[in-house]
Amino acid sequence: MGDFDPKKHTAEERGYDANGNYVRGLKMPPTRFENMVHGHPSAEQQSTRQQVDEAEVKGLRIYQVKHARGYYNIENGIVVGSARG
């Protein structure tokens, strides 16, 4: 997964990670989520939203969100990669 570069990415959201550290950009803002799931069926969007919410509640900075055609790699609330399969 990629490195979070604050010079390239603006962190709209912030919070505490699983270790209790204050982190900029921990949560995915609604507009970024909408861009990520654009073109996905409604049921898949709901499943994806649930996976993102669960990861954010756990305070994960790096996680994967799976969908019917593959997955997205998320780091600090930003999609840093994706794959089919």
- Per residue in 6-19, pLDDT (tens digit) is 555 555 666 677 78
Decide if 9 is inside a domain.
Answer: no
Burial class of 42 by CB neighbour count within 10 A (0 to 12, 13 to 18, 19+): exposed
Question: Is residue 2 situated within a structural domain?
Answer: no
**What is the model's pTM?**
0.75
Q: Is residue 47 part of a domain?
A: yes
5 in a structural domain:
no
pLDDT tens digits along 58-72: 888 899 999 999 999
Residue 1 lies in a domain: no
CB 66 within 8 A of CB 73: no
